[in-house]
Structure 1
């Protein structure tokens, strides 16, 4: 079996705040301190959000029709909302095809591909064409945009619609995928469907294959900035456009993946302190970055 490169920490930078008096010198700091007082304040903010939740008659519609919300999102924004993820190879070297032997044939599945902000950069970087890339999304509008891109080439990859909370796609043979990417995707799934989604993805992995995850962590600034009528349930919210987002802890994520037969090789918080120097405001980004391996004895 090929050797899989190890997960490296977030490559955003190595700017550490060692002197708190200098916090305003830069717009961002890596791996900042997170203490009990900060967590207490975050919990108080969330308790305040619960006072004005989403109206009950809207909740069932939001939970049962996520596809509609995402189709509306892509119909409105097309390919002009997200930026290409040019940091991918630095944070996930498993996707760097230069690290594999010349005769390698690596099958990758990108989950929640949107309009191709991961797909097309990965194919562009794969100069020797070692990768075959499957790209799926449960928004048909997003897939239409991907297929309409001038760089879409089915000799190198295939895009298709798939709700990963449903049985695995017939577009992919079970046990055939080397690497699956889930970049800010699993948080869009209601907690009740989370494990089913992971199990569905696991069936597509080869033994020893991996799932790479980057997603929102509990108490991320985006969670704490929600105002009235966004709270649905514990750590589950709807955005203004109706799309869902759930904020996990890394322990919660590890438990769910282990339940589905996937072992954590790495699962860490990727923290960032964002500084607005104009108004003297400090905000914490808290993401989870992880790599889970499919057990070889299943």
Structure 2
């Protein structure tokens, strides 16, 4: 009995292992809906841990060869890098907060978003609202101005590329019951940041939203290096030019405190999004531009490992999340491929060269 079928049998017995043995994908938290009968493929909209046949993989490879055969000229590509904020700004001006759905799956996939003693705590939400006080108050003095937003927090999170808040507000809804926590969120599209600040669920006392271009290494953050417990980098790195990705990851690693976690999720190689690009949209190998000027890169597990290792972070998880999406009405099957990883800053941190 192979590893996948051992996982399936354990599921049928009501056992959901955190990680299967023999190298198969984990059944939890990446989903447990396993297709065991191909005749029932159209009974659900999504199936987890799908395996590609050799024929499917070869067809995907040929598709990518064809849609990347014609490259956009280098002199024409410059605008997509220099004006990236304009393209994303136009995107949010048109779609506002109605394009992406809230990522309510975040805590299931990334329980590290919560403080360690809170991810399993019963009855979170019963703490008094004045639980957190300034250091001056604890000493019996009068409150002093905060040296930076969230300086009094005991647990700090940064979401990079926050967009219109599809991760921000699910996180904030949880953090409101953990008042010593603080969320930073940034985007280089000012329109996206304004959408967050104007949202009815935005709470300035526990969230600081700011405009920031992570590709500008010398641009200061509104807080010191080495103070973050968690960085969330979800479907952001893929929109950045491949030549700049390593610099972005290395800079972000400096923001983490020793033991802090960087949580990553993005497009994987041969995802349906890559296969749908037409000829003439390819910028470079596995890097494309959409009709609206925004870009997308498609990663392999090995590429992700190399980037974060070079930034000096320890790999705790690096998985290919391979699912089958189904359009039941049209009887169409589409492969979704994402790479998900968790990378920790060592307690004795030295950045790789």
How does the TM-score come out when normalised to structure 1?
A: 0.91
Moved over 4 A (4+): 6-12, 100-104
Q: Residue 82 of structure 2 is aligned with which of 47, 51, 64?
A: 64
Unaligned runs of 5+ in 1: 1-5
Q: Does 1:159 align with 2:177?
A: no
Q: Return the structure number with greater relative CO, CA threshold 8 A, min gap 6.
A: 1
- Is the contact made by 2:287 and 2:295 (CA closer than 8 Å) also made in structure 1? yes
Question: Structure 1 25/154 Cα, relative in aligned 2: closer, same or farther at 3 Å?
Answer: closer
Could you tell me which residue of structure 1 aligns to residue 158 of structure 2? 109
Compared CA separation, residues 79 and 25, structure 1 to 2 (3 A): closer
Decide whether the 8 Å contact of 1:9 with 1:91 is kept in 2: no
Kindly indicate whether the alpha-carbon contact (under 8 Å) linking 2:66 and 2:279 is maintained by their aligned counterparts in 1. no
Could you tell me which residue of structure 1 aligns to residue 245 of structure 2? 194
CA displacement at 1:221 relative to structure 2: 0.5
The equivalent residue for 1:180 is: 231
Matched residues in 1 for 2:191 and 2:57: separation? 39
- How far 1:275 moved relative to its partner? 1.8
SS in 1 for 2:226: coil
State the secondary structure of the residue aligned to 2:347.
coil
Mapped partners of 1:276, 1:147: distance in 2: 36
Give distance in 1, aligned partners of 2:51 and 2:315: 24
Partner secondary structure for residue 257 of structure 1: helix
State the Cα deviation string for residues 180-220 of structure 1 (Å, max 9, x = none).
Answer: 00111111111100000001101110011010011100000
Is the 1:108–1:177 contact (alpha carbons within 8 Å) kept by the matching residues of 2? yes
Cα 1:157–1:9, aligned 2, differ >3 Å: closer, same or farther? farther
With over 3 angstroms needed to count, the CA separation of the structure-2 counterparts of 1:77 and 1:277, relative to structure 1, is closer
Seen in structure 2, the aligned counterparts of structure 1 residues 12 and 203 have a Cα distance that, compared at 3 Å, is: closer
Equivalent in the alignment of 1:3: none
Name the CA distance, whole Å, in 1 between partners of 2:339 and 2:293.
23
3-state SS in 2 of match to 1:84: coil
Report the 3-state secondary structure (helix = DSSP H, G, I; strand = E; otherwise coil) of the residue aligned with 2:80: helix
Task: Note if 1:231 corresponds to 2:282.
Answer: yes
TM-score normalised by structure 2 residue count: 0.78
**C-alpha distance 263-140 of structure 1, shift in aligned 2 (>3 A):** same
- Aligned 8 A contact 1:138 1:161 in 2: yes
Aligned counterparts, 1:95-134, within 5 A: 95-97=113-115, 98-99=118-119, 105-126=154-175, 127-134=177-184
Distance 2:209 2:202 in 1: 9
Deviation, 1:11, is 4.2
Shift, 1:12, TM fit: 6.0
- 1:24-103 aligned at under 5 Å gives the runs 24-54=42-72, 57-97=75-115, 98-99=118-119
Q: 1:153 to 1:53 in 2, by over 3 A?
A: same
User: Which stretch shows the higher mean deviation, 10-19 or 172-181?
Assistant: 10-19
Which 10-residue stretch deviates more, 77-86 or 205-214? Answer: 77-86
Return the alpha-carbon distance in structure 1 between the equivalents of residues 201 and 334 of structure 2: 38
Deviation for aligned residue 1:128: 2.8
Q: Which runs of 5+ in 2 are unaligned?
A: 1-17, 20-25, 122-126, 132-152
Structure 1: distance between partners of 2:312 and 2:30: 31
Q: Secondary structure at the match of 1:241?
A: coil
Higher share of residues assigned strand: 1
